[in-house]
Amino acid sequence: MTERRPGLGLAVLCAATMTAFAANSLLNRLALVEGETGPAAFAALRLAAGAAILCALVLCGPNGMTRVRSGLRVGHAAALAAYMVGFSFAYVTLDAGLGALILFGTVQITMFAGGVVAGDTISARRWLGAGLAMAGLAGLLWPAGSAAPPFAGAALMTAAGIGWGIFSLKGRGGRDPLGTMAGSFLLALPAGLLALTAVGGDGLGIRGALLAVVSGAVTSGLGYALWYRVLPQIASSTAAVLQLSVPVIAMAGGAALLGEAVGLRAAVAAVVVLAGIALAVTAPSAPARRG
């Protein structure tokens, strides 16, 4: 079957979705940079706003309550909570674009590893691409004086990437991804509140609260809902390649809106990581194993 070439409308939807994903990094960093809003408060409010909008979307449809209840899965929620909390705390020290690069590089490596564990047949080109992406991340994170990203921030964003990768793997092929997303946000909310309690409350300014609500309800909740509308209309390899644009958008936004400098090391690492992931996700699928 020949893949249908995306039309203008679909291309606009894809661009809007990738921009929403990148905006999460910018909104989180923007909320923290002035110091009025803490990472735990941002994560908790983001989860609450996301849960509210996603549950509203599901409940407006048929069998809404049943779909939300079926989406209450502990494993999914734990992975989502790890992503949300790690993501917010990482941006205390990381620039928006650098954080997005570490996040999406880790997500793709995690999903690649998940495929290997699941017994997927991996082509040589895909192995090469994954190895190149790992090398790029290693080069970025390797200690080298002031050029290296802060260790704590990099470690937290790596944990966030692993969480999002696991969440994506668990939800892959689900019959009701929107219901699963709504239930997962709802069940992950207590973890966000627990993190807020653990730090004793880290502040929540009016501007930070508004940014968290926008991040949770619009660029996360509606962004994920829009992504699930787009996904059935494009090939899986195309979907993976599209996500490679997110760190680039975040870096450009961070430079334009937050005055963040893009160093040579980060720029080179971005090229290597994105090239490796592109090589891996565009490799032809290997024939399925015969049992």
Crossing angle for the helix pair 96-117 and 8-33, to the nearest 10 degrees: 120
Q: What phi and psi values does residue 146 have, to the nearest 5 degrees?
A: -70, -15
Is the pLDDT score of 1 beyond 90? no
Q: How confident is the model at residue 139 (pLDDT cuts 50, 70, 90)?
A: confident
- What confidence tens digit (pLDDT) does each residue in 58-97 have? 999 899 999 999 889 999 999 999 999 999 999 999 988 8
Most confident of 57-66, 96-105, 245-254: 57-66
Is the pLDDT score of 44 beyond 90? yes
Is the pLDDT score of 150 beyond 80? yes
Q: How confident is the model at residue 287 (pLDDT cuts 50, 70, 90)?
A: low
Q: What is the pLDDT of residue 133?
A: 80
Closest CA to 70 of 227, 175, 192, 224: 175
Q: What is the pLDDT of residue 153?
A: 93
Q: Where are the alpha helices (DSSP H) in 199-243?
A: 206-213, 223-230, 236-242
- What confidence tens digit (pLDDT) does each residue in 153-193 have? 999 999 999 998 888 888 766 678 888 889 999 999 999 99
Q: How confident is the model at residue 235 (pLDDT cuts 50, 70, 90)?
A: low
- Region 252-256: mean pLDDT is 85
- What confidence tens digit (pLDDT) does each residue in 198-207 have? 988 788 899 9
CB 23 within 8 A of CB 219: yes
Is the pLDDT score of 98 beyond 60? yes
Q: What is the pLDDT of residue 172?
A: 67
Q: What average pLDDT does the chain have?
A: 83
CA distance 82 to 168: 13
Q: How confident is the model at residue 39 (pLDDT cuts 50, 70, 90)?
A: very high
Is the pLDDT score of 249 beyond 80? yes
Q: Which residues pair with 146 in a beta bridge?
A: 144
Is the pLDDT score of 229 beyond 70? yes
**pTM confidence score:** 0.82
Percent of the chain that is helix, strand, coil (3-state, to 5) = 75, 0, 25
Q: What is the pLDDT of residue 290?
A: 42
Burial of residue 136, with CB atoms counted within 10 A of its CB: 0-12 exposed, 13-18 middle, 19 or more buried: buried
Q: Helix, strand or coil for residue 202?
A: coil
Is the pLDDT score of 288 beyond 50? no
Domain ranges of the chain: 8-281
